[in-house]
C-alpha cells in the first residue's frame, strides 16, 4: 500500500515528466533503489497526453487547484530540533490563461457521454460561433489562471497507457486504436484487440448524420477515447539524442512511431509543401530547374560546411537570414531554407547556428523516411511512460496521487536526508530529484520563468489537401511583428491514434510574448475558419473548419540556473518542465547530467541483459540448464518481434 512504503531508498524522484522518468530508469537500471512519486493521478506531468474527456477533466482539476488553501501543516510536528524543512507546494502554477472555444454544433443531450466512460461531471466550455468568438471569453486574471467552460464532460481522467507491442516505425496505414481504461499501466490492450478495433464500426460512425460533413460536439465527446491530446507538442529527430537513447536502452520496444510525411511552409497567404530530400527537390513542380540546382548545391555545402570555413567566416557576425541573401538562392529558396529547413527566423539565429540547424535537418533525412522527424503513436505522453516502465522492470516503486509534504534537511550537514509524505511517513534517501513545479514560492522567489504559448485545435480537414487524408505535417508560420516569435504548427491525422476519423488534431506552439490566445489566434485565423451552419452548406470553403480550440500558457523552466533556487541542499536536484524547442534534446541532456552526478561511474541507460547470456550461480557448468531458470523477472515482458528502430541505422536516401 502507498501508506506503508519501505522507509529507505537510494533515490527519490518527485514528478513523472520526461527528464525525471529517464533519470529514474537510469538509476533503477544501475541498481539503485528508486521511489518515483507524483501527486497527480496520471504519468507525465506537463508532458502527458489525455483523451478528450481527460483533457477537460485536467482543466477542471487546475481550476480547483487554483482554489487550494494551504492548511496548517501537520508535518511540522515531525521535524526534529536538528532538522529544518523545505515545504513543497500543493498548487501547480505552471498553466495559466486557459481559454476553451467550441465551434461545432452543441446538440448535447442529458445522456451524451464518452463511450466507455464510468462517470460524468460538469465543467465549463466557452461556446463560440464565428461572429461571437472574439467576444465570448474574457481573459482570466493571474489569480484566476484558468477559465473552463460549459458542456457535459465525463470526469474519468485517462492519460494514454502503453501499447504492449514493440517500438517500431510503422507504415503509413493505421495500426489500430488504443483504449485508455486506466491511469496506471496494469491495463494493456492485446495485439488482436488493437488490430481489429479499427475495422469494427462504432455505433456513432454508422449513425446517419443530420447533414453532410457535419461533425457535432456530441460526436467528439462520444469518440473522446480516440483522442490523445498532448500538453506539449514535440517531434523526435531521427538522429536526435532521444532516439539514440531509446535504441541504446531498448526502451524503444515499448512504443511505436510514425514518420512525419510533409514539411510545409506558409508564404504569401498560401500553404506549400517544401521539398527537402533529393527526390522531393527533383520531383517538385514549385521549383524551376535552375532553382533545383541552386538548392541542391547549397544543401550539399551545408552538409560539409565545417570543411569549408572560408565560405562563411566573413559572415559569422551576421544573421543566417542575411547570410542566405549573399548565396546564389532565389527569395523563394531563401524562405524555404530559413523557415522550413533551419526552422528559424530572420533575427533569431546567427550564420553558424543556421548552418548547424540545416546540417542537423539534412543529417536526419532518410534514416526512417523522407523527413527528419518521427512522432510516437498515441502522443508524446507515451515517452515518459516508456521510461517509467523500464524503471519498474528493474525494481523501481511507483506511487501516483502521492503528495510529498516537505524535504527534511539536516542542519549540521546541510544535506537533505528524507521526505515526509501525505501520510506523515518519513522516507530516507541519499538523493532527491524534484520537478520544478513542486517547489514553493519561497524556494522560487528569485526565479524568472519564460512562458510557452500553446493552442490545441480539432479541425475537419488538412491545411493542405492532397490525395491522401493521412498526412502528418509540420509548418512554421513566421512572425509578422517585431518582438513576436514564429509559430510552429504540427498537424496530426487519425492514423497517429491522436484523433477520431474525419478530424485532424493541430498543435500550435511559440515562445510567449503575450497570452496564448493573443499570440496564436492571428495564426489560427489565417489557416482556419470557424465551423458554422452557413459554411457547412457551402462546399467551396477554402480553409479547414475549426471545430474546437484550447489556448493556454505553460511555464518554461528549461533555462533556469540551479543557483536561482533558494537554499537547496547539494543532494537535491532540479528537473525542468518542457521547453519550447521542437526536439527533446534538452530533456535527455539534463537527465544524463543529473544521472552522472548521482552515479558518476555508471553507464547511462545501458541495454538490459540478454536472458540467454545470464548464468546463475552454480549453473556455469550446466549449459543445458533450463531456460526458465536463467531468465530474470525483469525480462518477463518480452515484446513480439517487429521492425525495431535499431534496424534502420543507415540512411536510405
Mean pLDDT by groups of 10 residues along the chain of 653 residues? 82 97 97 96 96 94 67 73 90 92 76 51 42 37 39 40 45 42 38 39 43 78 96 96 96 95 91 83 84 91 91 88 91 91 85 93 90 96 96 95 94 94 93 95 91 96 89 92 88 96 96 95 94 57 90 95 92 95 96 96 88 60 39 35 46 40
Predicted local distance difference test score (pLDDT) of residue 201: 44
Calpha distance 454→521 (Å, rounded): 10
pLDDT tens-digit profile of 149-201?
433 333 344 444 443 333 456 544 433 444 444 444 333 333 334 433 444 44
Which of 473, 543, 551, 434 is closest to 100 using CA atoms? 551
Helix 241-249 × helix 585-598 angle, to 10°? 50
Calpha distance 247→596 (Å, rounded): 20
Residues 301 and 424 placed together within one structural domain of the fold: no
pLDDT tens-digit profile of 395-419?
999 999 999 999 999 999 999 999 9
Residues 346 and 404 placed together within one structural domain of the fold: no
Tell whether 497 is covered by a domain: no
Could you tell me if 470 and 504 are in contact, meaning their C-beta atoms sit under 8 angstroms apart? Answer: no
Calpha distance 37→15 (Å, rounded): 6
Which of 470, 509, 459 is closest to 487 using CA atoms? 509
Of 364, 395, 429, the residue at which a domain comes to its end is 364
Cβ contacts of 25 within 8 Å, gap of 6 or more: 249, 251, 387, 388, 390, 391, 394, 396, 605
Compute the half-sphere exposure of residue 411: CA atoms within 13 Å on the CB side of its CA.
7
CATH number assigned to the domain comprising residue 326:
1.10.405.10
Of 333, 364, 395, the residue at which a domain comes to its end is 364
Which of 463, 524, 499 is closest to 101 using CA atoms? 524
Residues 437 and 578 placed together within one structural domain of the fold: yes
Cβ contacts of 497 within 8 Å, gap of 6 or more: 174, 175, 176, 177, 178, 226, 228, 377, 378, 379
Residues 444 and 563 placed together within one structural domain of the fold: yes
Tell whether 608 is covered by a domain: no
Residue found under cell 522492470: 393
CA distances to 237, 357, 464, 506 from 299, rounded to whole Å, are 18, 12, 25, 30
Predicted local distance difference test score (pLDDT) of residue 439: 94
Tell whether 412 is covered by a domain: yes
Residues 285 and 347 placed together within one structural domain of the fold: yes
Q: Quick one: cell of 321?
A: 537570414
What are the phi and psi torsion angles at 99 (to 5°)?
Answer: -135, 135
Residues 297 and 425 placed together within one structural domain of the fold: no
Specify the number of domains making up the chain: 2
Residues 283 and 402 placed together within one structural domain of the fold: no
Which residues sit opposite 110 in a β-bridge? none
Residues 72 and 26 placed together within one structural domain of the fold: yes
Residues 601-604: contacts with CB within 8 Å, 24+ apart? 602/26, 602/30, 603/30, 604/26
Tell whether 111 is covered by a domain: no
Predicted local distance difference test score (pLDDT) of residue 80: 86
Could you tell me if 127 and 238 are in contact, meaning their C-beta atoms sit under 8 angstroms apart? Answer: no
pTM of the predicted model over 0.85: no
Task: Tell me which DSSP letter residue 342 carries.
Answer: S
Residues 359 and 415 placed together within one structural domain of the fold: no
Express as a percent the part of the chain with pLDDT over 90.
55
State which H helix or E strand residue 399 sits in: strand 397-399
Predicted local distance difference test score (pLDDT) of residue 286: 81
Structural domain boundaries enclosing 403: 8-93+378-448+559-598
Residues 437 and 571 placed together within one structural domain of the fold: yes
State which H helix or E strand residue 458 sits in: strand 450-459
Of 317, 339, 364, the residue at which a domain comes to its end is 364
Could you tell me if 444 and 435 are in contact, meaning their C-beta atoms sit under 8 angstroms apart? Answer: no
Calpha distance 609→219 (Å, rounded): 47
Tell whether 577 is covered by a domain: yes
Tell whether 351 is covered by a domain: yes
SS3 281: helix
Calpha distance 104→502 (Å, rounded): 14
Predicted local distance difference test score (pLDDT) of residue 344: 86
Residues 420 and 569 placed together within one structural domain of the fold: yes
What is the CB neighbour count within 10 angstroms for residue 628?
A: 7
Compute the half-sphere exposure of residue 74: CA atoms within 13 Å on the CB side of its CA.
7
CATH number assigned to the domain comprising residue 413:
3.50.50.60
Residues 15 and 85 placed together within one structural domain of the fold: yes
How far is the first Cα of the chain from the last one, in angstroms, to the nearest whole number?
53
Which of 427, 357, 341 is closest to 75 using CA atoms? 427
Tell whether 535 is covered by a domain: no
Predicted local distance difference test score (pLDDT) of residue 147: 41
**In which region does residue 199 sit, left (phi positive, over 0), alpha (psi from -120 to 50) or beta (all else)?**
alpha
Tell whether 625 is covered by a domain: no
Amino acid at each position: 500500500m502507498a501508506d506503508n512504503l519501505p522507509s529507505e531508498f537510494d533515490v527519490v524522484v518527485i514528478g513523472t515528466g520526461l527528464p525525471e522518468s529517464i533519470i529514474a530508469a537510469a538509476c533503477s537500471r544501475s541498481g539503485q533503489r528508486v521511489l518515483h512519486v507524483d501527486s497527480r493521478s496520471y504519468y507525465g506531468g506537463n508532458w502527458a497526453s489525455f483523451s478528450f474527456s481527460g483533457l477537460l477533466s485536467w482543466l477542471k482539476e487546475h481550476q480547483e487547484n487554483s482554489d487550494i488553501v494551504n492548511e496548517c501543516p501537520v508535518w511540522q510536528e515531525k521535524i526534529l530540533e536538528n532538522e529544518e524543512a523545505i515545504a513543497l507546494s500543493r498548487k501547480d502554477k505552471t498553466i495559466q490563461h486557459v481559454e476553451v472555444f467550441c465551434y461545432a454544433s452543441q446538440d448535447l443531450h442529458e445522456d451524451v457521454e464518452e463511450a466507455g466512460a464510468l462517470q460524468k461531471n460538469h465543467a465549463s466550455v466557452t461556446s463560440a460561433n464565428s461572429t461571437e468568438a472574439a467576444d465570448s471569453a474574457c481573459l482570466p486574471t493571474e489569480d484566476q489562471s484558468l477559465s473552463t467552460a460549459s458542456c457535459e464532460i465525463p470526469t474519468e481522467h485517462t492519460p494514454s497507457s502503453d501499447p504492449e507491442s514493440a517500438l517500431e516505425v510503422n507504415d503509413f496505414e493505421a495500426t489500430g486504436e488504443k483504449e485508455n481504461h486506466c491511469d496506471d499501466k496494469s491495463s494493456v490492450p492485446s495485439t488482436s484487440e488493437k488490430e481489429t478495433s479499427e475495422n469494427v464500426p462504432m455505433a456513432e460512425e454508422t449513425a446517419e448524420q443530420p447533414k453532410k460533413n457535419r461533425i457535432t460536439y456530441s460526436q467528439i465527446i462520444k469518440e473522446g477515447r480516440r483522442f490523445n491530446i498532448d500538453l506539449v507538442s514535440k517531434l523526435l529527430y531521427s538522429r536526435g539524442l532521444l532516439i539514440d537513447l531509446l535504441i541504446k536502452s531498448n526502451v524503444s520496444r515499448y512504443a511505436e512511431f510514425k514518420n512525419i510525411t510533409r514539411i510545409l511552409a506558409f508564404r504569401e497567404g498560401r500553404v506549400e509543401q517544401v521539398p527537402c530530400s533529393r527526390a522531393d527537390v527533383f520531383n517538385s513542380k514549385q521549383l524551376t530547374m535552375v532553382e533545383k540546382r541552386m538548392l541542391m548545391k547549397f544543401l550539399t555545402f551545408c552538409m560539409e560546411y565545417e570543411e569549408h570555413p572560408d565560405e562563411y567566416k566573413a559572415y559569422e557576425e551576421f544573421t543566417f537570414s542575411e547570410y542566405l541573401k549573399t548565396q546564389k538562392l532565389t527569395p523563394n529558396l531563401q524562405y524555404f531554407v530559413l523557415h522550413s529547413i533551419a526552422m528559424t527566423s530572420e533575427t533569431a539565429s546567427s550564420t553558424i547556428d543556421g548552418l548547424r540547424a540545416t546540417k542537423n535537418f539534412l543529417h536526419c533525412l532518410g534514416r526512417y523516411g523522407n523527413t527528419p522527424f518521427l512522432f510516437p503513436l498515441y502522443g508524446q505522453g507515451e515517452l515518459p511512460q516508456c521510461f517509467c516502465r523500464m524503471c519498474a522492470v528493474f525494481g523501481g516503486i511507483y506511487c501516483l496521487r502521492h503528495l510529498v509534504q516537505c524535504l527534511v534537511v539536516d542542519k549540521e550537514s546541510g544535506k537533505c536526508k528524507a521526505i515526509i509524505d501525505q501520510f506523515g511517513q518519513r522516507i530516507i534517501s541519499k538523493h532527491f530529484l524534484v520537478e520544478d513545479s513542486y517547489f514553493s514560492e519561497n524556494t522560487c522567489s528569485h526565479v524568472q520563468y519564460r512562458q510557452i504559448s500553446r493552442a490545441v485545435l480539432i479541425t475537419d480537414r488538412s491545411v493542405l489537401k492532397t490525395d491522401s487524408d493521412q498526412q502528418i505535417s509540420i509548418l512554421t508560420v513566421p512572425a509578422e511583428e517585431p518582438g513576436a516569435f514564429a509559430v510552429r504548427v504540427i498537424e496530426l491525422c487519425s492514423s497517429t491514434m491522436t484523433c477520431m476519423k474525419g478530424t485532424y488534431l493541430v498543435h500550435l506552439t511559440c515562445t510567449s510574448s503575450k497570452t496564448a490566445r493573443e499570440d496564436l489566434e492571428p495564426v489560427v485565423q489565417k489557416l482556419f475558419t470557424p465551423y458554422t451552419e452557413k459554411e457547412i452548406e457551402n462546399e467551396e470553403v477554402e480553409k479547414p473548419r475549426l471545430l474546437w480550440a484550447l489556448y493556454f500558457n505553460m511555464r518554461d523552466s528549461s533555462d533556469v540556473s540551479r543557483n536561482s533556487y533558494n537554499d537547496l541542499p547539494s543532494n537535491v536536484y532540479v528537473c525542468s518542465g518542457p521547453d519550447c524547442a521542437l526536439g527533446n534534446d534538452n530533456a535527455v541532456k539534463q537527465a544524463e547530467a543529473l544521472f552522472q552526478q548521482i552515479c558518476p561511474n555508471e553507464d547511462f541507460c545501458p541495454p538490459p541483459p540478454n536472458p540467454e547470456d545470464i548464468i546463475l550461480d552454480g549453473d556455469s557448468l550446466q549449459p543445458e540448464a533450463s531456460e526458465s531458470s536463467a531468465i530474470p523477472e525483469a525480462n518477463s515482458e518480452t515484446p513480439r518481434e517487429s521492425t525495431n528502430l535499431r534496424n534502420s541505422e543507415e540512411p536510405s536516401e
